[in-house]
A and B are shown apart, each in its own frame.
Chain A
Amino acid sequence: MSGMSRIVKTMSNIIFPFVMIFGLYVIAHGHLTPGGGFQGGAVVASACAMILVAYGSVWTMKKIKEKQLSILESLGAIGFIGLAFLGLVFADKIFFDNFIMGPNGIGIIFNKSAEGLSNINTAGVLPLMNFAVGLKVIAGLFAIVLVMAYATVKVKEVE
């Protein structure tokens, strides 16, 4: 699809950072306020979809390849399951354990260095898992919208 007029492009340039900051805020405070990985990721992905609609899918596909989004998505997923496996190695040695919460070595290092950073140290391994899931959701939802928009362009050219 082709892009929209210059007014729309300018307005979406201005709004995009605000929506992205709000989405990252929702991801980062998932353990204190309503929100978390999926909700914040969906907000950021909708900001990216706004850019896609404003600038057109042909221009966006030139700037962001689908391969890069696939690598980001795999990194998010590996981060999530890597954190689950780390519970097997430290502390209580259970799969999916919250190994940062207890009074053991890893917990003290993490809790001391993150004190005062808006209560991120109060929930152990949950904010880290929120970040991993948020990254995966952003990359995944943006890839879905991008590929669908590009596929419908090709349908018109075939006819």
Chain B
Amino acid sequence: MNIMNHLPALIIAIPLLGAFLTPLISKINDRLRNIFVILIAGLTCLLVFLLANQVFTEGIQTYVFGANTKETLNAISSGTPLVRILFEVDGLSAFMAIIGCLLPLVAVIYSWAFMKDHTGLDKYYTLILLMTAGMLGMMLTGDMFNFFVFLEITSISSAALIAFYTDKGKAVAAGFKYIVISSIGALFVLLAVALFYGQYDALNIAVIANSMQYSFLDKVALVLLIAALGMKSGLVPMHMWLPDAYGRATASVTLALIPTTLASLYGVLRVSFTLYGNNLITGNPLKQIGQIEIHLNILLAIFLVSLALITIVVGVLMALKQTDLKRMIAYAAIAEIGYMLLAIGAALSVLKTEVGNMALKGGMFHIMNDALDVGLLFLVAGAIYYATKETSLNKLGGLARNMKYTTVFFLIGLLAVSGIPPMNGFASKLLIYESVYQVNPILSIVAILCSILMLAVFVKVFHSIFLGPKQSSFEKVKEAPKSMLIGMAIIAGIIIFFGLFPQVIVNNIVTPAVDALSNPGTYINAILTGGV
């Protein structure tokens, strides 16, 4: 049995097996369960790296569940209709899967010391492993109904994790708000999938994309999908759940929640670039104003760019007036999602040109950088809460004498989020500014202004928490425990490495993702004309 042939299936199966074994193992011993969970998360990470290596060197990988892959693909290319569930991994899926497996591993390492005094830990670790399995399944699947099932698995387990502090009422209220909004969004996605099934009698993404005629029901399905998936990824004006959920959950859960938000953003990309890919530029134009034809991509680009601009401005302005540390970082995370969507929306309007390619590279690189930067800031906020039991900015002060390493990590995260060299935020934001300026100068000016505002906000926070005179109530504050420091050091090391060698990362990891987005034809041909 060659493992390399079964990688997409094992990436989902191993976290699921670990999640089902964790309640039994935790009845035996606690330390054994912690080590077991770290092993499972590490094994998943290793498998994802192997799969990413395979995809970047050999092309799209497909895996058919329950039948031989080559025979099934050959049968499809000669006319048999497709009835199996398939996983199809191209450059974009592998790129998002790398983020989606690395951050939960750091969260599990971090929560060894952070959650040591809490009860109910066996359910906590089971839910984190289930959330990882659901998130990776969302990113790797090639079937629309399978995407809906994994979306629901992820949202149920993350809602239960957000409400982990059941003794206070605020966390449970945030979890309730999250599950109501997320459940309605997922039901709209199911409605769109049912519309596709009713018209084309197929559930596979490649088959639907191939036989898509842009009828009225398809327009309704596009609106439902982008609205529901945008609601789950925190775009303004549907962002109401994000500050509550990120701000009141435990810090390690927030770190593992960031890739689930990005997985919904991946859903938006997959729908607009691949599912409707053949209708973006070719096909009949939607309107004709005089001599100018407006195709679908210009309409989508205007909509996404305007949403992104509102997101950036609202996120940064609301972050200015917060007094709770984690809520402020959550609003900064909302603003960063706006940056990602600004670059991608601008790239949609000039698809398949040089400027569009650069914008897509900037946007995709910013997805990975932002997940790491905001994750590091949340981990530092968790360390401060662990040491001082305080999260309000009015009461913290003068902590740099007692917590030296935490200060350095917060400084690294601050520089990275605002886009200062030599951190990775500078490389991706430079690409975004340059390419978006050539599409429309006003967008770039607004983006630069808000980035400067965010630097101002974070410098104020850094000064008020770490510098300043020593407070008498914080005499006995000690440095954070070792496992938390190891978790923060891993992410800080990756940030500095990405900042010093951005060309290596962009050429090897980001460029295949950008190629997969610009050419929807390769995704369709990998299934319909038989695998290689």
Contacts and interface: CB of A to CB of B under 8 A. Distances in A.
Physical contact A–B (CB less than 8 Å) = yes
Interface of A: 67, 70-71, 74, 77-78, 81, 84-85, 87-89, 92-98
23 contacts: A67-B27, A70-B23, A71-B24, A71-B27, A74-B21, A74-B23, A78-B17, A81-B13, A81-B16, A81-B17, A84-B13, A85-B17, A88-B1, A89-B1, A92-B67, A92-B68, A94-B64, A94-B66, A94-B67, A94-B69, A95-B10, A96-B65, A96-B66
Contacts of B431: none
Contacts, number: 47
Contact of B6 (A70, A71, A77, A88): A88
A130 to B, nearest CB: 16
Interface string B64-78: 111111000000000
A78 B68 CA distance: 25
B20 A95 contact: no
A94 B84 CA distance: 13
A107 to B, nearest CB: 15
A98 B64 CA distance: 13
Contacts of B17: 78, 81, 85
A87 B66 CA distance: 8
A55 B6 CA distance: 51
Interface in B270-324: none
Contacts of A77: 20
Contact of B13 (A85, A92, A97, A98): A85
A71 B16 CA distance: 16
A74 B20 contact: yes
Interface residues of B, number: 18
Contact of B68 (A71, A94, A98): A94
Contacts of B10: 95
B9 interface: yes
Nearest to A84: B13
Nearest to A89: B1
Contacts of B6: 88, 94-95
Contact of A93 (B1, B13, B20, B23): B1
4 A-B pairs with least C-beta separation: A95-B9, A77-B20, A96-B66, A96-B65
Interface string B1-29: 10000100110010011001101100100
A88 B10 CA distance: 10
A89 to B, nearest CB: 7
Given A71-B24, A94-B66, A96-B9, 8 more contacts: A71-B23, A71-B27, A77-B20, A78-B17, A81-B17, A85-B13, A92-B68, A97-B66
A85 to B, nearest CB: 7
A93 B9 CA distance: 12
